[in-house]
Amino acid sequence: MTQVTSSNIGYPRIGEQREWKKALEKYWNGSLSQQELLATTKEVRLNGLRKQKELGIDLIPVGDFSLYDHVLDTALMFGIVPERFQNNGLSASSLDTYFAIARGTKEAYASEMTKWFNTNYHYIVPEFDHAKPILVENRPLTFYREAKEELGIEGKPVILGPISFLKLGKGYKETEFTSLLEKFLPLYIQILKELESDGVEWVQIDEPILVTELSGEEIPIIKQTYQTIAEAVPSLKLVLQTYFESIHHYEELIHLPVAGFGLDFVHGDALEVIRQFGFPQDKVLFAGIIDGRNVWRKDLEQTWGILEIIQQIVEQDRIIIQPSCSLLHVPITKELEHTLDPIIKAGLSFADEKLKEIAILADGLTFGKTKISKEVNESTEAIQRLNQSNYRRKSENGVDLQEVQAERQSPFSQRILEQQEALQLPLLPTTTIGSLPQTAEVRKQRLRWRKGDLSTQEYEQFINKEIKKWIEIQEEIGLDVLVHGEFERTDMVEYFGEKLNGFQVTKYGWVQSYGSRCVKPPLIFGDVSFDHPMTVKESVYAQSLTDKHVKGMLTGPVTILNWSFVRDDISEFDVLNQIAIALRKEIEELEANNITIIQVDEPALREGLPLKRINWEAYLNHAVHAFKLATTTVKNSTQIHTHMCYSSFGDIYDAINRLDADVISIETSRSHGELISTFEENTYNKEIGLGVYDIHSPRVPAKEELKENIYRALATIPVKQFWINPDCGLKTRKEEETIAALKVMVEVAQEIREEQLQTVKNN
C-alpha cells in the first residue's frame, strides 16, 4: 500500500495573536532591537512549522515566511536594490535596506506596491533598471537547514520562479526580458545546486504567472529556461506550482522537464483541462483541491468525487493532496473564535482546519474512503446545517432587481453644472481619501468599549472629540472638502460587516494585506440587507462643525465583496447585488441628512478582475451594475465620488467610465505618474484626482515632488476636472506626519491654483 502524500504550499506569517505584526511595528518605532525582532519572528516561523507537522502534513513548505513580502525577499536575495537606496552605506543584506525599499525614507521614496494577482495581498514591485544580480544569500537553503536542525522537519524549500519574478517587476523593456533572464538563471541554478547538495528532495518553484495570458512567443523562453535548470540539477525534484487559475498554455507547458506540477482545482477549469489534455505519466500531480482563499468548510463528499475523477486520469501513487494556493490568504485557526454561533463556526475552515482536511483526504486515498467516513459525514452535516438554517433564505431583500433604477437622473454634463452651483468649490479642490490617523489612544478606547469598560455614550463622546479635533485641523490646513476621519471604524470593510445583516465579524480572523498591515475580512454567511443607518450620525455631526462640505464615506459593493469571505452556496454576483441594495439605502439616508458629497470607495474593482480575459466582460458588467445600483438614486446636485488604488487602470478604463461617478480619485504616487498615460490615451470627461503623494510611507513629500506629479497630470487632464488628494486613506499614518504632508499638499495646490487663475486672467 502506497501512502498518499499531503502537502502545503504556504502558511500564514503573522502568528495566531499577530506576534509578527507587533514585533515589526515595535522594531520600526525603535522599541525593539533587531536581535529581538529576529528572535520573535523566528519563534512565529517555527511554531507554524510545528503545527503543520502536528496536523499531518508530509511536505511542509520552508522559505515561504517573510518579514514583509516574499517578492521583496527574492529581490534582496539577488542583490536587487534600487539605485536611490544604494548611497546610504547599507548592503543588500541589511534589514534597514530591506525595510527602506518597502516603506521609504526621508531621502528616498518607497518602491511601488501592487496587488498579488487578483488577491488583496500587496507585493513590492522589483526594480530591474541596470540590474546586476548576485546571490547575496541562499534563503531557501537557510530556512531548509533551520527546519531540519531545529525541528527535524525535512522541508520543501519554496522559491519564486524566474519567469514570475521578472514578469512581476519593472524597469526593463519587453525586448530585454530574455537578456535579463539570462542574468538571473545561473543564480537560480546555484541556489538549486546547493539545495541538491544538501539532500533536499522536493523544491517548490512558484510560477503563478503561467496562469495568465502569456503570448505564444514566450513559451519557447519558458521551455528553454526549465530545460537549462533540469540539466543542471538532474536529481532534484522540482514541483512547478501554479495557483488562482488554470495554466493558460497547458498542453505545451505541462511537458516542461520538472518532476511535478501544482494545479489549482478550485479556481479555474483545471479539472476540465486535464480531462481534455490528460496529465503526463512521468510527473506527480500536486492537486490543489482545498480552497486556500476562502474560509468555508469543504464538503469532503463532494471533494472525494473530484478526486475520483482525477484518479481516472492520474494514478493514485502520483497524486499529492494540497490546498489550491498558499494559506497566506486565510486566518490561522477558527479555534480561537469562542463567540461565533456554533452553526457558523462548524461551517468554517481556516488554515489549520484546511490542513486537517488535506490530511484526512490523503488518508482516505491511502486506506480507502471507509477509513475517513466519520470525517466525511461530519463535514457534510455541518454544511447542510448552515445551508438549511434561517441565515440562508435565498431572498432578494424584498427587491425585484430587474425593476430597480440603475442610472442617474441626468447625464454628467448636466449634473456637474448643478453640482458646481450647489458646492461652490474652488479650482483644483483639495481633499483627503477618507480615513485620518487612528492613534494608539483611539484603538485603546475602542478596545475598552468592546470589553465593556467604556459605555457606548462615553465611547461616542470620545469619537466626537476626535472628529471635532480633526475638523479644526483640516480647516486650519486649508483643505476644501473635509472628512470626519472614520475614527469609529476598525477597517473599511469590517466596519460595514458589523452593521449589515448577513455578515459576521471574527475576533482573530486576521490576514496580511501589506507589510505589517493586517485585516479581518468579515464572513458573508447569509442574505445581506440594510438594518439601520451606519455612517449618518458621524457624518452629520462632522458637518455641523463646519461650513465646508464634509464627505459621506462608504465602501463600495465590489470592494466589500472582494475583501470579505463570501458564502459559497449562491452566486457571488447575487451577493454583490444584495450588498449594493443595502448600500443604496445608506446613501439615501446620507442625502436625506444633507450630506451632498458621498464617496463610495472601490479600491478592489481592478483586483477582482478575472485572470483570463474571456471572463472580464461578465465581471465588469456585474461590477458596474452593482456600483450604479448603489449610487444612482441621488439628486443631480449630490456629488458621487469613488476611489481606487494600486491598479492597472488601462485594463478597466471603460468600466471606470461606465461607473458614472462624478469624481474618481486614483492612486498614482508610487508609480510616479505612470498611470497618467492611460488618460493620455483616452478622453475622460468627468472629474478626477490622482493621488499626489504616497501615504504608505512615513516620509513627508517635498513640494517639488508634488508639483512634478500635478504638472504631469495637468498636461493631460483639464484643470477644471482635476482634484488634489493623497493617494489613499491616512489611517495608518502618525498625526504629525499627516499634518505636515497635508500642509505641503495644500500649499502646492494653492500655488498652482493661483498660477492657473493668473494664466486664465492673462489670456
Domain ranges of the chain: 5-67+113-327, 415-437+478-487+536-762
Tell me whether residue 433 is annotated as binding: yes
Question: Between 187 and 708, where is the model more confident?
Answer: 187
**d(Cα 205, Cα 733) in Å, to the nearest integer?**
36
Give 612's DSSP letter: S
Residue 395 reports pLDDT greater than 60: no
- Selecting among 549, 622, 625, 696, the annotated active-site residue is 696
pLDDT band at 702 (very low <50, low <70, confident <90, very high): confident
**d(Cα 459, Cα 447) in Å, to the nearest integer?**
10
**d(Cα 209, Cα 51) in Å, to the nearest integer?**
30
pLDDT digit string (tens) for 342-370? 999 999 999 999 999 999 999 999 999 99
Tell me whether residue 19 is annotated as binding: yes
Pairing of strands 639-644, 565-566: unpaired
Average pLDDT over residues 751-757: 91
**d(Cα 166, Cα 728) in Å, to the nearest integer?**
27
pLDDT digit string (tens) for 430-462? 999 999 999 989 999 998 998 999 999 999 999
CB contact burial 687-717 (16+ within 10 A = b; e otherwise): bbbbbbbbbbbbbbbeeebbeebbebbbebb
Please report the pLDDT score of residue 262 as a whole number: 98
Average pLDDT over residues 660-678: 73
**d(Cα 450, Cα 507) in Å, to the nearest integer?**
11
Residue 33 reports pLDDT greater than 70: yes
C-alpha cell at 452: 465593556
Residue 518 reports pLDDT greater than 60: yes
Please report the pLDDT score of residue 752 as a whole number: 94
- Residues near 174 by Cβ (< 8 Å), separated by ≥ 6? none
Please report the pLDDT score of residue 712 as a whole number: 85
Residue 287 reports pLDDT greater than 80: yes
Please report the pLDDT score of residue 667 as a whole number: 75
Average pLDDT over residues 25-35: 96
Please report the pLDDT score of residue 693 as a whole number: 81
Give 208's DSSP letter: G
CA geometry: angle 80, 85, 87, nearest 5 deg: 115
Residue 19 reports pLDDT greater than 50: yes
Same fold: 5-67+113-327 with 415-437+478-487+536-762: yes
**d(Cα 466, Cα 486) in Å, to the nearest integer?**
10
Crossing angle (nearest 10°) for helices 300-313 and 351-367: 50
Please report the pLDDT score of residue 445 as a whole number: 93
Secondary structure of residue 481 in the 3-state scheme? strand
Average pLDDT over residues 280-295: 98
pLDDT digit string (tens) for 112-146? 988 899 999 999 999 999 899 999 999 999 999 99
According to the CATH classification, is domain 415-437+478-487+536-762 in 3.20.20.210?
yes
State yes or no: is 696 an active-site residue. Answer: yes
Please, are residues 706 and 693 in contact by the beta-carbon 8 Å criterion?
yes
Please report the pLDDT score of residue 670 as a whole number: 53
Please report the pLDDT score of residue 398 as a whole number: 46
Tell me whether residue 728 is annotated as binding: yes
**d(Cα 410, Cα 541) in Å, to the nearest integer?**
30
Tell me whether residue 601 is annotated as binding: yes
Q: Look over the chain and give the mean of its residue pLDDT values, rounded to a whole number.
A: 93
Tell me whether residue 434 is annotated as binding: yes
What are the CB-based long-range contacts (under 8 Å, 24+) for 220-227? 221/163, 221/177, 221/178, 221/181, 222/163, 222/253, 222/256, 223/252, 223/253, 223/256, 225/162, 225/163, 225/181, 225/185, 226/256, 226/257, 226/258, 227/256, 227/257
pTM score, whole prediction: 0.91
pLDDT band at 757 (very low <50, low <70, confident <90, very high): confident
Question: Between 341 and 606, where is the model more confident?
Answer: 341
C-alpha cell at 208: 503563478
Residues in the chain: 763
Tell me whether residue 641 is annotated as binding: no
According to the CATH classification, is domain 5-67+113-327 in 3.20.20.210?
yes
**d(Cα 587, Cα 599) in Å, to the nearest integer?**
9
**d(Cα 435, Cα 442) in Å, to the nearest integer?**
13
Please report the pLDDT score of residue 761 as a whole number: 66
- The number of beta carbons lying within 10 Å of the beta carbon of residue 102 is 19
What percent of the chain has pLDDT above 70? 95
